[in-house]
A = this chain, B = another copy of it.
Amino acid sequence: MRREIIEQKQRQRAPSQRALATRKRILDAAEQVFARNGFDGATLRDIAAEADEAVSLVHHHGGGKETLFRQVIGRRAEELSKARIQALELAQSLSTNPTTETILSAFITPLLTNAANDIGWQAYTRLIAHVSADERWRDIAAELFDPTALRFVDSVQNATTQSNRTAVAAGFVYTISATLAHIAAGWRINALGEDEAPQDNHDILIAFCAAGMNRLQTV
């Protein structure tokens, strides 16, 4: 019947459980491989192997390499932003003037906590590092991460009574950068610390960044 055909175009049949599971496994695999090798270093074959699926299925669910990358980035972005905003609002409800340290902690801790417990989030963190470091993904950062980041920059500017907004923004980018190094460059910290202890201490990171921020008041 004609009508059925038209309806199919408008509202496709809901995906089966198996299809959804396949799709999830492909996105999970892509997350791992992109995080490990970067966008250019990753291949659809690697991803297919990691997911134990056919290459063409990766293409089918992913919609091409770049679309797949953007899907993977987008998948956890909203959850992360919500957790950050929620932590910020909690801090603001507890004090009318939260400290710089408290604000930065609200930004950093949700990501670090997720990453500590879940290899997917751990990979996602490295993905954010790739996006943050490569201007080619500027639009992704602008769409998915900047709105939240701007709220935090506002709050920090408020907390430090800093009139130079660009300085605050710079400090915030340094903070983001240090956070990603904290997670992804543990090998370098161990090399320079001449120590095998993989000390994953959030407090050191947050103290470092908050002190740096506060110092900018007087620059």
- A-to-B contact residues, CB < 8 Å: 37-41, 129, 132-135, 138, 141-142, 146, 149-150, 153, 165-174, 176-178, 180-182, 184-185, 187-195, 197, 199, 201, 203-205, 207-216, 219
Contact of A192 among B41, B134, B146, B207 (CB under 8 A): B146
CB atoms of A205 and B129 under 8 A apart: no
Establish whether residues B174 and A178, one from each chain, have CB atoms under 8 Å apart when the complex forms: yes
The complex places the Cα of A138 from the Cα of B189 at a distance, in Å, of: 12
User: Measured between C-beta atoms, what is the minimum distance from A32 to chain B in Å?
Assistant: 15
Residues of B within 8 A of A165 (CB): 193-195
Q: Which among A149, A169, A199 has the highest number of chain B CB atoms within 10 Å?
A: A169
For A207, what are the chain B residues with a Cβ–Cβ distance below 8 Å?
A: 212, 215-216, 219
> Is B204 a contact of A219 with CB atoms below 8 Å?
yes
